[in-house]
Structure formats: structure tokens, C-alpha cells
């Protein structure tokens, strides 16, 4: 039972164009969403996040959009650069009691930016 789904295992984009990575979720208790980037043989690194009370958060070339009614979020990278080639994980946070939270990760989307 995947609560966080990234339905595209891979995505190829030309350098300079926009990359759009999508993520769907099913658990209405998720109240915070994060994107992580992962290079081979390294751990995931935090990229950008968004609270469920917002619909957009921007940080430089990266923008995350949240559509709560559709339970959908997306990560836009513009312009895409070859160094952006990596696996991108969507993660969602939900309370588990006693003030603690738990992250649930999607399966990841491998982005390839072609020079």
C-alpha cells in the first residue's frame, strides 16, 4: 500500500528546459512534504519542502507546487542543468503521536538532463 507514489520511474529533459517531477499521495494526515535528491552511491540530500497550508514554495531554480484537493505535488526545475541528473524522492510527513512525525518516501524518479 503505497501512500506516496511517483508514477514516472524516469524522465529525460534537454538542458535549459523545464523538468517537472510529479508525486501523488493518499494519506490525508500528511501535513508537510519534502523533495530529496540522490546521486549514485550517496545518501539523499534535502532539496525543498512545503507545508500543507501553502500551495507553492520557491527556492532558486526549484519550485514545489501542492494541490491538496488532488493530493498531488510537483517539483519544477527551471532551467534544468546536467548536474541536476539524479534520482528525486518525494517524501511526506504525518504525525504518529506524542509530537513525533514519520516520513514516507516515494519510489523515486530518475531525472536525466541531456546537454
Residues of the shown chain interacting with another protein in the complex, contacts defined by CB under 8 A: 32, 34, 36, 41-46, 49, 51, 89, 93-96, 98-105, 107-108
CB of 102 to another protein, least distance (A): 6
For the bound state, the minimum distance from the C-beta of residue 83 to another protein, rounded and expressed in Å, comes to 18
d(CA 64, CA 75): 5
Which string of DSSP letters, residue by residue, matches 50-107? EETT-SEEEETTEEEEEETTTTEEEEEESS--GGG-EEEEEEEEEEEETTEEEEEE--
CB of 71 to another protein, least distance (A): 18
- Which C-beta is closer to another protein: that of 12 or that of 45? 45
Amino acid at each position: 500500500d503505497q501512500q506516496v507514489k511517483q508514477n514516472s520511474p524516469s524522465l529525460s529533459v534537454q538542458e535549459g528546459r523545464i523538468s517537472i517531477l510529479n508525486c501523488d499521495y493518499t494519506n490525508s494526515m500528511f501535513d508537510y512534504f519534502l523533495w530529496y535528491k540522490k546521486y549514485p552511491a550517496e545518501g539523499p540530500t534535502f532539496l525543498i519542502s512545503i507545508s500543507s497550508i501553502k500551495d507553492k514554495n520557491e527556492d532558486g531554480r526549484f519550485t514545489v507546487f501542492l494541490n491538496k484537493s488532488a493530493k498531488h505535488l510537483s517539483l519544477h526545475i527551471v532551467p534544468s542543468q546536467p548536474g541536476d541528473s539524479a534520482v528525486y524522492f518525494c517524501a511526506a510527513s504525518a504525525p504518529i503521536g506524542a509530537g513525533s512525525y514519520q516520513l514516507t518516501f516515494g519510489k523515486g524518479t530518475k531525472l536525466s538532463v541531456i546537454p
